[in-house]
Each structure stands twice: as structure tokens, then as C-alpha cells.
Amino acid sequence: MTSLRTIGALALAASLSMLGMPAASAQDAPPRQTWSFSGPFGIYDQAQLQRGFKIYREVCSTCHSLNLLAFRNLSDPGGPGFTEAQAAAIAATFQVTDGPNDQGQMFQRPGGIADSFPPPFPNDNAARAALGGKLPPDMSVLAKARAYEWGFPTFIIDAFRMYQEDGPDYIHAILTGYEKPPAGFAVPPGGQYNKYFPGGAIGMPKPLSDGQVEYTDGTPTTVDQYGRDVAAFLMWAAEPKLDERKRLGFQVMLFLIVFAGLLYFTKKKVWQDVAH
Amino acid sequence: MSGHSTYQPQSPFMQWLERRLPIASLVYSSFIAYPTPRNLNYWWTFGGILSFMLGVQIVTGIVLAMHYTPHVDYAFKSVEGIMRDVNYGWLLRYVHANGAAFFFAAVYIHIARGMYYGSYKEPREVLWILGVILFLLMVATGFMGYVLPWGQMSFWAATVITNLFSAIPGVGGDVVTWLWGGYAVGNPTLNRFYSLHYLLPFVIAGVVVLHIWALHMVGQNNPTGVEPKDEKDTLAFTPYATVKDGFFLSVFCIVYAFFVFYIPNYLGHSDNYIMANPGQTPTHIVPEWYYLPFYAILRAIPSKLLGVTALAGSILILAFMPWLDTSSVRSANYRPLYRQFLFIFFLSVIGLGYLGSQEPTGGYVVAARILATYYFAFFFVILPLLGIFEKTKPLPNSISESVLGGAK
């Protein structure tokens, strides 16, 4: 009888294996980086988030909005660790549109701590008009909105590894993935070749080069390091409560394991004289 | 809910209440004195786990609803507001979103247990059909809940699934327009999905009461499939079943909490963190994992009408199991052939789930067709024939004999 099950399992395995691999795409798998916030006890590295913010501010924010974040978030616990005064000072360097005033006019004023990050373009069409028809995505949840399909069996192993860093790995890969196109690859006009971008042709020109952003803490000013720092910052922007989540998670897991253990022994005691 | 209660109120107040509303004796007879077969294994704890999950989903859902805005322009932002600005909003949302997945995981185990031990058979047909209705309600509720965050997958899943109704001959197009409340998935669709997503869990709770009522009428099945004959075969619900259910529920919660706190986005799709954009179709539209086997069946069939019929049929067929299965033996422990075919059935459902997540091209379609054929053949061919040809193992005379006699 077990042979019947074996036949069934074999038939299933055969029907699955004859599928072969999906057609090779032009997209390479993003190399996995080491992140301070991975794993059950991982938390954000404040200095890295501050460096990443510097890159966002000096480079990315020229085209990419960060609509869902407010300046006050910069001083939130579990974030880049700016003081409230520093966050207010950063806000004041941005001009935000307010109004209408008593005369019915919209007006510009320096940003306050409660303001959202002002978008680089007044609307999507203005962005497209300025950037050759391409709309740069908002960066607020970008780090959770990008992933790579690792396929079987990696996706199962990743659950046990607690791998949730697809997004930052992808962002780092894109920033470091600008290369000469391989022979025979036709890059469409206005596009760039990037081996980690789906399809291989990305609209964004190479945004970072070595030494472009100044670091004051001695961290190497390489594209690789920039990519890592800004990806970490964007992960924080997308998942600002990660530190709190993992801290609470440890307490909950500890409680549940002890509680389940106590219930197990209670159950044993209750059932000990009962054949079942 | 069954039989005459042996509850004797002690205090004058309880005696007073008992003569006016015998709720204490109802609770006593249903959840304390209620006899449960003594040989139940841990697969029987999933009923309690499902009740717990329904409670979790309703409680977290009610609080989430206080902060959510069902409007195409604000839904995505309000969900992100919950994640960022509501106290423990991230916890509520992750508990609710992963809760749906664990609710479905538990219901699949619950259904599989019923299939393995023949819990659908006489006299439990109505109990089983109420279960199928509960599953259908869960499918509808889960689908509409997935639409609410108004991400790309929300929007396109809503478009794909509602479009299935266009396969109905003649009136399909009108039905879809009626479902949408417009000529495309839009604000009226989101609003009605929100309304129904809030309503249906309470309908589920109502049917759960009927499900438990029916259960207490006919009593629980057990691993031998032999009905309890006397008091030696059963144990009181409290403390025996309560402590066992409680222990396994806490084990279940450890796995659930692992997902909520460490990999909260593992079961979701990254595209749902992109706001819905009717002008841009995602490269690959996939439903949540718990719908994938049915999605694979839908796509395995080239004709839209037949595909939709197969999709609906693949769930509705469960309701006919009590009559498709012609065997008089309940438990698969005593049905060697059924047991093999059932394991192949479970594997083919898992296989269909994997195929549902892949692009429907080439070998994948062929494999999906093979597995979908087996899925239906299991119900229409294997189940009726096995009752005639299968040689079953001898059943124990009673539960206590099987437990005390050292037999399986």
C-alpha cells in the first residue's frame, strides 16, 4: 500500500520537475548584504540612518518624494536619532507650500517639525515633464515594495532565516548595478543598463559615484557604502517601528514559550491517570 | 446544547437566574460536562484554534476600522498612517494580516482532519455542510479584506476576481457592473467591500454557533470513527479537552507570533506596498497563498466559463462528500486504500498551490491540468468506487477497547 503513495509522490515530483526552470530573465539576483537590522535581535544603526538620510537629502530627493514621512519622524525612537531641535533645523531648510492665506493665496514658508517632506515636483505630471516621461517612485515604502523572486526552495529556507531584507538588498543592488550592457543588449533611448533591474533597462541615470557625498565620520565614500547606507535609511522609512517590533516580539515569544510549557505540564498532570 | 443538563445551581442568585435564563446550565452542559471521546488527538484542537482566530480577527479588525479610510485616495495612506502614527497600529495590522493567513492554515488542517477521519459521514452531514459554508464565507471575507489596503495587488486581485463573474452566460457583464457599482473597480467597489468585510465576520460567527450546535447534537467524531458507546469512551470537556486545546493553541500562537514579529511581510506580496494604479498592470498577478490551489485550477482550464465553474466546483464539491463517499467505515486508519489516495490528494493540492504562484506557461499548465484532474477524480471517481472495492481493516468494538487494548 505504501507503494501506491510512493507512486503518487513520484508522479507529483515528476510533473513538477518537468516544468524546468522559468525562462532566464535579464535580471540578476541581488547579492545579499549584511544588515544591522536583520535577524531576531537586529536594530537600525543610527549613524548609518543619518548617513543614508544625508544621501537621500543631497541626491535622491532631487527626484524622489518621501510623502509618508514627516520631519518629526527624524527624532522618533528607533530612527536616525536626531534630536527634536535637529529635526526642526532640518525642516527649516525646506520650503513647504501652505495656504490659502487670508487673501486666498498659497504661499511658501520654511518647514516645521510637523510638516511632511515636501515633494520635489508639484505633481506627477510635472515630474514626468521634467524627467523625460519617467515618474520616479515615492520612496516612503519603497524598501517593502521591491522584492526578488527567489523561487523554491530558497523561499522556504528564508522563512526560517527570518529574511525580510529583499527590499534593501534590491535597492543596494540597483545602485551598484550600473554596467556596460552585454553585447547584443539594445538599451532603449533615455535608458541605462542595470543588471539588477527587471528587464535590464532602467530609466534612472546612475545616481551615485564615489566621493559624491561627504561623510564626516570616516566611513568610506564609495558607491557600495552609499548604496548600503541609503538602503538602510529607506528600510527605516518603510518600517519605522522595526526596533520596537523585534523588542516586543522577543518578550511575546518568551512569554508564549513559557506559557505553552506550563500548559504542557498541566495537560500531562490532568491526563496522567487517563488512558487515551 | 444537547441533552438534559445536570447543572445544579448552588447560590440563590444562580437558582433565581436558572429559572429565568438557563444560560449557566447551557455553558455547563456545552463546555464543562460535555462528553468528548477520550482518544481525540491534537488534530482535534483546530476547532478551538479557529474560534480563537475568529476572535482575534474581529477584535483587531474593529480597532483597525477605527483608523481606516475606505476611499481610493486615502485607503493606502490611512493604512500607512496605522503603521506609523497609531499606537501599536503596526502590531494590529500585522496581527490582522498574518491572522488571515493563520486562520486559513488552521481551517485547511481542520478540513483535512475531517477528510482523513471521515468526519463528514452520517450523522454529521449538516455539521460538515455548515463547515463548507463557513469556508466559503472565509474565502469571501479574506478576499475583500485583501482589497482594502488598496495596493497594486489589492486592486488587480479585485479586478481579476470580479471579472470571473463575466463568464456567466448572458448576464455576466451586467453582474460585474453591478458588483463594481460602476464600469471599473473603483471607489464604490472599495466602499462595498469594506462594508461586507465588516459584516461577513459576524455572519461567520453566527454560522459558527450553528456549527457548534450541530456538533453538540451529533457529538465529536474520533480517530477510530467508532461512535462512543458508554461513559468509558468519553471524558468531560473540562478539564480534559480545555487543557489540551489550550496547550496546542499556545503552540499555534508561537508560530503565529514568529510571523507577526519577525517576518510580518513574508506571506504578503511586495507589490501591495505600491498604491493601486489602474493604469499599470503588475507583471504577475497572484492571490494570497491560501487561494493559490483554486487559482491554479482556474488557470488550468482554457475556457473561461469552464474554468470559473471548476473553481467554484472545487470548493462546492466538498459539500457533497458525505454522499460521494460510499464506504461505511469512517476513519482512514481502517481504510488502507482511501488513506493512500487521500495523501496523494493532499499532495496534489499543495502542488496546485505551488503552480498557482507560477507563470501559467508551458509545463506549468500541463502539470496544473494533471493535478486538477486528480483533484476532481478523487471526488467523482475514487470516493464512490473505493466504498465498493476497498477491503477495510477490522474496526475496534469501542473506543475504550482501542485505547486500552493497545491497538492503534
State phi, psi for B19 to the nearest 5 degrees. Answer: -75, -15
What does each C-alpha distance from B51 to B103, B109, B204 come to in angstroms?
A: 9, 14, 10
Q: Hey, is the C-beta of B84 within 8 angstroms of any chain A C-beta?
A: yes
Q: Grid coordinates 543596494 are at which residue?
A: A172
Using DSSP's 3-state secondary structure scheme, residue B151 falls into strand
CATH architecture of B39-285: Up-down Bundle (1.20)
What type of residue sits at position A199?
G
pLDDT at B4: 54
Looking at the predicted structure, is the pLDDT value of residue A16 above 50? no
pLDDT in tens, B350-376: 999 999 999 888 899 999 999 999 999
Of the candidates A145, A158, A164, which has its C-beta nearest B271's C-beta?
A145
pLDDT computed for residue A20 by the predictor: 40
Name every chain B residue with its beta carbon within 8 A of the beta carbon of A158. 266
CATH among 1.10.20, 1.20.1630, 1.10.357, 1.10.287 for B288-395:
1.10.287
Mutation pick from B237, B262, B283 vs chain A, by most beta carbons of A within 10 Å, is B262
Contacts of A145 in chain B (CB under 8 A): 270-271, 273-274
Which of A4, A252, A274 is nearest residue B261 as measured by Cβ atoms? A252
Rounded-to-integer distance, Cα B339 and Cα B116, Å: 7
Q: Find residues 94-153 of chain A whose CB sits inside 8 Å of chain B.
A: 137, 140-141, 144-147, 152
Interchain CB distance below 8 Å, B262 and A164? yes
B:163-202 residues touching chain A, CB 8 A cutoff: none
Nearest CA to A208 out of A226, A190, A220, A181 is that of A226
- Closest alpha carbon within chain B to A248: B261
Burial of A275 (0-12, 13-18, 19+ CB in 10 A): exposed
Q: Quick one: closest CA in A to B257, which residue? A: A253
Lowest-confidence segment of A8-12, A206-210, B35-39, B319-323 by average pLDDT: A8-12
Secondary structure class of B56 (helix, strand, coil): helix
CA B205 to chain centre: 13
Query: Which set of grid coordinates corresponds to residue B323?
Result: 454522499
Q: How many CB atoms lie within 10 A of CB A107?
A: 11
| Residue B188, number of CB atoms within 10 A of its CB | 13
DSSP letter at B407 equals -
Q: Is the pLDDT of residue A5 over 70?
A: no
Q: Cell 564626516 belongs to which residue?
A: A216
C-alpha B283/C-alpha B288 separation (Å) is 16
Q: Which residue has the cell 526642526?
A: A88
pLDDT of residue B1: 42
- Do the chains contact at A253 and B257, CB–CB below 8 Å? yes
- For residue B331, give the amino acid letter: S
Q: Write down the domain spans for chain B.
A: 39-285, 288-395
**CA–CA separation, B88 and B67 (whole Å):** 12
Interface of B with A in 315-354 (CB under 8 A): 336-337, 339-341, 343-344, 347-348, 351, 354
What's the rounded Cα separation, in Å, for the pair B249 and B46?
8
Quick: pLDDT tens for A247-257.
999 999 999 99
Around Cβ A123, how many Cβ atoms within 10 Å? 9
Q: Kindly state whether A241 is in contact with chain B, defined as any CB-CB distance less than 8 angstroms.
A: yes
Of B313, B301, B311, which Cα lies nearest the Cα of B360?
B301
The residues in A 165-194 lying below 8 A from B, measured between CB atoms, are 166-167
Cell numbers linked to A53: 538620510
Question: pLDDT tens string for chain B (408 positions)?
Answer: 444 567 889 999 999 999 999 999 999 999 999 999 999 999 999 999 999 999 999 999 999 999 999 999 999 999 999 999 999 999 999 999 999 999 999 999 999 999 999 999 999 999 999 999 999 999 999 999 999 999 999 999 999 999 999 999 999 999 999 999 999 999 999 999 999 999 999 999 999 999 999 999 999 999 999 999 998 999 999 999 999 999 999 999 999 999 999 999 999 999 999 999 999 999 889 999 999 999 999 999 999 999 999 999 999 999 999 999 999 999 999 999 999 999 999 999 999 999 999 988 889 999 999 999 999 999 999 999 999 999 999 999 999 888 876 544
Please name the residue that has the C-alpha cell 522618533.
A76
- Judging contacts by C-beta atoms under 8 Å, the chain B residues touching residue A144 are 265, 270, 273
Which residues from B are below 8 Å from A40, CB to CB?
Answer: 262
CB atoms within 10 A of CB A154: 13
pLDDT at B247: 98
For the domain made up of A25-69+117-264, give the CATH fold: Cytochrome Bc1 Complex; Chain D, domain 2 (1.10.760)
**Identity (one letter) of the amino acid at B117?**
Y
User: Which pLDDT band, with edges at 50, 70 and 90, does A217 fall under?
Assistant: very high
B75: closest CA of chain A, how far (Å): 13
pLDDT value of position A94: 96
Report the distance separating Cα B22 and Cα B16, nearest Å. 10
B404 touches chain A (CB under 8 A): yes
Q: Which residues pair with A193 in a beta bridge?
A: A201
Strand partners, A217: none
Chain B residue closest to A41 (CA)? B262
**What's the distance, CA B100 to chain centroid?**
10
Nearest CA-CA partner of A45 in A71, A74, A80, A84? A80
The answer to whether the CB of A18 falls within 8 A of the CB of B354 is: no
Any CB–CB contact under 8 A between B250 and chain A?
Answer: yes
Distance CA B308, CA B297 (A): 9
- The pLDDT value recorded for residue A224 is 97
With beta carbons less than 8 A apart as the criterion, state whether A90 and A82 touch: yes
